[in-house]
Amino acid sequence: MQFSQNAVLSCQILAAHPLRTLLSIAGIVVGVGAVVLMVAVGQGAEQRILDRIGRMGSNLITVNAAPARLMIGRYRTVATVTTLTARDARAISEDCPHVVAAVPAVYKSLVVHWEGRNTTTTVIGMGADGFRVRSIPLAAGRPFEAEDDRLRKRVAVIGQTVARNIFGAADPVGQDIRIGRVIFEVIGAARLRGTDATGMDQDDVVFVPLDTAMRRLLNVPYIQTIYVQAGSSGWMDRVERDVRELLRERQRLSEGHPDTFTIQNQHTLIKTEQDTARAMTLLIGSVAGIALLVGGVGIMAVMLMAVRERTREIGLRRALGARPRDIRVQFLVEAALLAGSGGLLGLGIGIGAAVAAARLGGWNAAISWSAAALALACSMTVGVVFGLYPALRASRLEPIQALKFE
Amino acid sequence: MIELENLTKHYAKGTVVTEALRDVSFRVERGEFVAIMGTSGSGKTTLMNILGGLDTQTSGTYRLDGLDMARATDDELSGIRNRKIGFVFQQFYLLDRADALKNVMLPLIYADGTGDAAARAGQALAAVGLAARTHHHPAELSGGEQQRVAIARALVTDPVILLADEPTGNLDARNGLEVLAIFQRLHREGRTIVMITHDPAVAEHARRLIVLKDGRIAGDQPVSHQRDAHAELGRTAGDASGAEPR
């Protein structure tokens, strides 16, 4: 009780110099505020990217029929390579353990026509289980099935962007569209999926059965992509290794020869993303550390001033029975209170700014309470550390000299 | 209560050694009201600091309530100041931002097992006639009232001795008399009081007078004609011209 009364007294003394108190904690306010805001923005962005990666399908490994080359800071597959076939996909699903499905796919940019309107879009020919493997839910109609694929039926499932571009408000299901020179019946419309991890519009597509695409539309014997789904996320790396080994064997690549294909592991993608986020967090952390350090110097300056101003009070307290330890604790508590209030203020400002930024940017504000608590604890610690020297000076004052101090 | 034997105090400043106290010996018994009088430079402030446990002697012994003060550690001295000594200073030394009650409670912060601190502080304020001023801040009180708050603060820990250093030095005659009247009442109630002053008129309110000169005791005798502060207050109240009794 007496301790808390002393703390109340300390607060009153701090509140008596509002401007000075505010200036002294400015560094801490900015530091903590920046951390909360940056972490919220960073986590919000990370969440969006992870959502996009997740939208590709779960436990997905993508095999592309071309070696990747680094171009302008990005991996791109170059040229058309004709080494991958639908039989490779079948081999993967039959020979590799822990593989749930291996879906072959081809794609090409083609013009789609309907009643005098047309749009250029990506036509994807894929196995029927691609809808499940790549998490493509339908908004209307039905997906094509393995039977449609086997009979090379001319049926199509269209993405929302295509639907909007050529059908407008009309119901696309049941309509006949022309892709190239071939007439297809629209049997379904995919649900809106948004952009993928690379920023591609995943709704500007038309899905058709693989065999229909290969024989009737593109007239090619090879495929471009195999989507491999692993049994669980724990098997991803194992499946990637198995698929690479199998494909190299099937293509008779000698040891040391580079892959003629590229394997993209969803896990690796997520990990890369998380590594980037972690590096960002580290950067934010060090910036915050510097801000807190500067804030600590501000606290130290004000506490030294306070000790000087209150020398007679210190002398009085010593005369009335305060031990050096009591004086030390009092000034440490004041420094911690000062820094803590700065931390709280920064927290409020940071959360407010994060919520405002989220509303402007149209994403969910990911306020990290653990980061907020950490920032608050750090600011209190800074207060204690930088308050230590002033507190020691206060506790070492001789009572008589302190009482006589003018 | 207080036993001083051959107490000396030297201050060394460079190569010059000042002897503030030389061979001072006296005893103060429980219930006494002693004035220690001297001009500035007589060593009375040094004596006050040593008696209050704020300073230590160069040689000789000082026992307070049977305790050898020279053997106490810094922390023990803090405890002794807290429990056994009640200080009243010339400049009052109240905390501006705390009200009268909080000021009186201040020593209890550093005491252990004090029970209801606010109740004790309230009683101490009532004992100096300030029950109605409990929540006034020092700036709202007259000088005399401020010194009475300081006396309440000195009494709140129920110390064995009240040490007052020029308690009327910053007060006008009337307020000074009020403070002295409180001391005389506390003395009648059995308190042990040691008051340091340079003013013979103030000193004559005590029962015994010790005179310090150049660090030595130049006189130690009972006050022959003790003044009665209460009666003097009555006279000033009756005197329309408000003549100074000092």
What does the DSSP assignment read for B105-171? Answer: HHHHHTSSS---HHHHHHHHHHHTT-GGGTT--GGGS-HHHHHHHHHHHHHTT--SEEEEESTTTTS
Give the closest-approach CA distance of A402 to chain B in angstroms: 11
CATH topology of domain B2-238: Rossmann fold (3.40.50)
Tell me: pLDDT of B242 over 50.
no
Q: Is the pLDDT of residue B240 over 60?
A: no
Q: What is the mean pLDDT of residues A93-100?
A: 90
**Chain A residues near residue B49 by CB distance under 8 angstroms:** 400
- Res. B8: pLDDT tops 90: yes
Domain identity same for A78 and A37: no
User: Is residue A24 located within the same domain as residue A78?
Assistant: no
pLDDT at A277: 77
Contact B105 A5 (CB under 8 A): yes
Mean pLDDT of B133-151: 94
User: By a Cβ cutoff of 8 Å, what residues of chain B touch chain A?
Assistant: 49, 52, 54-55, 74-75, 78-79, 81-83, 87, 89, 93, 95, 97-98, 102, 105-111, 114, 117, 153, 157
Distance of alpha carbon A340 from the chain centroid: 30
Residues A105 and A251 grouped into a single domain:
yes
Which percentage of chain A shows pLDDT scores above 90? 40
The residue of chain A nearest to residue B50, with distances taken between CA atoms, is: A400
**Maximum average pLDDT range among A365-374, B111-120, B162-171:** B162-171
pTM given for the model: 0.71
Digit-coded pLDDT (tens) for A196-252: 766 678 899 999 999 999 999 999 999 999 999 998 888 888 999 999 999 999 988
Q: Say yes or no for a CB contact (<8 Å) between A6 and B97.
A: no
Residues A227 and A337 reside in one and the same domain: no
For residue A60, is it within any domain? no
Higher pLDDT, B124 or A45: B124
Q: What is the mean pLDDT of residues A241-266?
A: 88
Q: Does A11 contact B at CB distance below 8 Å? A: no
In 3-state terms, what secondary structure has residue B57? coil
Task: Supply the DSSP string of A117-136, one letter for each residue.
Answer: EEEEEEEEEE-TTHHHHTT-
CB of A374 within 8 Å of a chain B CB? The answer is no
Give the model confidence (pLDDT) of B24-36 as tens digits.
999 999 999 999 9
Average pLDDT over residues A159-173: 91
Closest CA to A204 of A172, A233, A162, A241: A162
d(CA A343, CA A348): 9
- For residues A44 and A85, membership in a common domain is answered with no
Q: How many domains does chain A have?
A: 2
Same domain, A275 and A253: no
Interface contact B54-A316, CB threshold 8 A: no
Identify the burial level of A43 via C-beta atoms within 10 angstroms of its C-beta, where 0-12 means exposed, 13-18 middle and 19 or more buried: buried
Distance CA A318, CA B54 (A): 9
Under the banding of pLDDT at 50, 70 and 90, the label for residue B239 is low
DSSP A207-268: EEEHHIIIIIII--S--SEEEEEESSGGGHHHHHHHHHHHHHHHTTPPTTPPPSSEEEEHHH
* Phi–psi pair at A46, nearest 5 degrees: -60, -40
Domain containing A87 equals 66-260
Count residue pairs from A and B with Cβ separation < 8 A. Answer: 72
The pLDDT-based confidence of A21 (bands split at 50, 70, 90) is confident
Partners of A325 on chain B (C-beta within 8 Å) are: 75
Torsion, Cα of B202, B203, B204, B210 (10° steps): -170
pLDDT digits (tens, 9 = 90+) for A275-288: 887 787 788 778 87
Between A10 and A80, name the one with better pLDDT: A10
* A402 contacts on B by Cβ (under 8 Å): none
Examine the domain organization and report whether A45 and A74 are in the same domain.
Answer: no
Instruction: Please determine, for residue A68, whether its predicted confidence score (pLDDT) is greater than 70.
Output: no
Q: What is the pLDDT of residue A45?
A: 75
Q: CA of A16: which chain B residue's CA is closest?
A: B97
Residues of chain A with pLDDT > 70: what percent?
93
Q: What mean pLDDT is predicted for residues B55-75? A: 92
Q: Letter for the amino acid at A219?
A: N
What value does the mean pLDDT of chain A take? 86
A202 lies in the same domain as A121: yes
CA–CA separation, A403 vs A176, rounded Å?
Answer: 98
The model's confidence at residue A5, banded by pLDDT at 50, 70 and 90, is low
Can you give the pLDDT at residue A67? Answer: 66
Residue B94's pLDDT is: 94
A343 by Cβ neighbours in 10 Å (0-12 / 13-18 / 19+) ranks as buried
**Residues A135, A39 share a domain:** no
Lowest-confidence range among A127-136, A363-372, A386-395, B188-197? A363-372
Statement: residue B241 has pLDDT above 50: no
Judged against a pLDDT cut of 50, whether residue A387 lies above it is answered with yes
Residue B243 pLDDT greater than 50, yes or no = no
Q: Work out the pLDDT band at B244, boundaries 50, 70, 90.
A: very low
Are residues B81 and A320, on separate chains, in Cβ contact within 8 Å? yes
Query: Which positions in chain A touch B78 (Cβ < 8 Å)?
Result: 318, 321-324, 326
Chain centroid, CA A161 distance in Å: 26
Whether residues A275 and A339 fall in one domain: yes
| Closest CA–CA distance from residue B94 to any residue of chain A (Å) | 8
Q: Which long-range contacts (CB under 8 A, 24 or more apart) does B139-147 make?
A: B139/B96, B141/B100, B142/B175, B143/B92, B143/B170, B143/B171, B143/B172, B143/B175, B144/B171, B144/B172, B144/B174, B144/B175, B144/B176, B144/B178, B144/B179, B146/B92, B146/B94, B147/B88, B147/B92, B147/B171, B147/B175, B147/B179
- Residue A400: closest CA among chain B residues belongs to which residue? B54
Residues A81 and A195 reside in one and the same domain: yes
**Are residue A286 and residue A186 in the same domain, yes or no?**
no
**Residues 6+ away with beta carbon under 8 Å from B39:** B198, B213
Q: Which amino acid, one-letter code, is at B195?
A: M
Residue A80, pLDDT > 70, answer no
Asked if B98's CB is within 8 angstroms of A9's CB, the reply is: yes
Compute the distance between CA of residue B51 and CA of residue B85 in angstroms, rounded to an integer: 9
Q: What is the mean pLDDT of residues A82-87?
A: 86
Task: Map out the domains of chain B as residue ranges.
Answer: 2-238
* Bridge partner list, B33: B193
